[in-house]
Amino acid sequence: GTPQKHLELGFQFEEYMIGKAKRVNQALDDSVPLRHPLTIHEAMRYSLLAGGKRVRPMLAIASCELVGGNEEIALPIACAVEMIHTMSLIHDDLPCMDNDNLRRGKPTNHIVFGEETAVLAGDALLALAFEHVAPRLAKVVSADNVVRAIAELGAAVGSDGLVAGQIVDIKSEGREVNLKDLEYIHVHKTAKLLEASVVCGAIIGGGNEMEVERLRRYARCVGLLFQVVDDILDVTRTSDELGKTAGKDLATDKATYPKLMGIEKAKEFADGLVTKAKEELSYFDETKARPLYHLANYIAYRQN
């Protein structure tokens, strides 16, 4: 079906997203009270509350709701994945990594607070993610499922997850990157945490093995899709802005999908991924699966 069809059925995706984002932002705000030592908590709050899209929390909540859970029980895991995401952005922006001055339209953490504090703010947010989630989950699900969710989160971060993607990305700088390398980087840097968000949501919501597995496959497609679309947007955005046919990425060394397969093939690849993601959802009740269906569309057709 088309997005319109779902709207006709009375589901307002934008309202859904705005409502969830509000709830998540409030919970994140509460999760790091300003206290001694002031600098570190200011630095953590600065990046955590800098206004990201909150895609990962929304995936966690929607997945939890799909298998029978609710927003309330998904909130701790929703916060945890955003804390992890934020810390990865802080570290990614550091001078020793990407050396970026701007993030989410604001000066990066190390620009505002200095490098030492930015490193520590990232470390503290990573630790907080686990500290925050464990006791709260233990109140609503079995100890077994708490352990499963926490292991899933850990795996998404570590040397088979985000860190793997980042190290391969860094080490491939200045070298020729083929499609297989590029996919490895994106699956690890981006898809793993999206996958953990969805899977943890499903575990907390009480999903059975088959449901968790379907949702994992949905998330893998959406995760890769996220990056392919990002690459495409980089090209179209820049060429729109400059009124040129070639975008920024085509001019730099960084490997991207449009660069390696051409813009048309990259768009076809993205279409295939969104179709596959939706196929995984077809196993679930159509009405209940609407938020995840729309989230896949949102990721596929977003403009930023």
Q: How far apart are CA 116 and CA 131, in angstroms?
A: 22
How many CB atoms are closer than 10 A to CB 95?
13
Residue type present at position 209: E
Q: Mark the segment that binds ligand GRG (CB under 6 A) among 2-10, 85-93, 174-182, 281-289.
A: 85-93
Establish if 21 lies at the interface with ligand GRG (CB under 6 A). Answer: no
Establish if 25 lies at the interface with ligand GRG (CB under 6 A). Answer: no
Side-chain half-sphere of 5: how many Cα atoms within 13 Å?
Answer: 7
Tokens coding 195: 């996958």
From the list 25, 88, 108, 109, which residue makes contact with ligand GRG (rule: CB under 6 A)? 88
Per-residue x/- mask for ligand GRG, residues 50 to 79, rule CB under 6 A? --xx-x------------------------
Residues in the chain, total: 304
Is the CB of 52 or the CB of 291 nearer to ligand GRG?
Answer: 52
Per-residue x/- mask for ligand GRG, residues 153 to 172, rule CB under 6 A? ----x----xx--x------
Min CB(109)–ligand GRG separation in Å: 12
Min CB(250)–ligand GRG separation in Å: 20
Instruction: Kindly report the backbone phi and psi dihedral angles of residue 106, in degrees, each rounded to the nearest multiple of 5, phi listed first.
Output: -125, 160
Extended beta strands in 77-192, E state:
102-103, 106-107
- The residue whose Cβ lies closest to ligand GRG is 52
Q: How far apart are CA 204 and CA 43, in angstroms?
A: 30
Is the CB of 265 or the CB of 302 nearer to ligand GRG?
Answer: 302
Which residues within the stretch 182-201 sit at the binding site for ligand GRG (CB under 6 A)? Answer: 189-190
Which residues within the stretch 105-134 sit at the binding site for ligand GRG (CB under 6 A)? Answer: 126
Is the CB of 11 or the CB of 130 nearer to ligand GRG?
Answer: 130
Matching residue, tokens 């990407």: 98
Min CB(206)–ligand GRG separation in Å: 27
For residue 82, CA distances in Å to 49, 128, 197 come to 10, 11, 9
Min CB(82)–ligand GRG separation in Å: 8
Continuous H helices in 141-285: 143-157, 162-171, 179-186, 192-204, 209-242, 248-251, 257-261, 263-281
Give residues in contact with ligand GRG (CB under 6 A): 52-53, 55, 85, 88-89, 91-92, 97, 104, 126, 157, 162-163, 166, 189-190
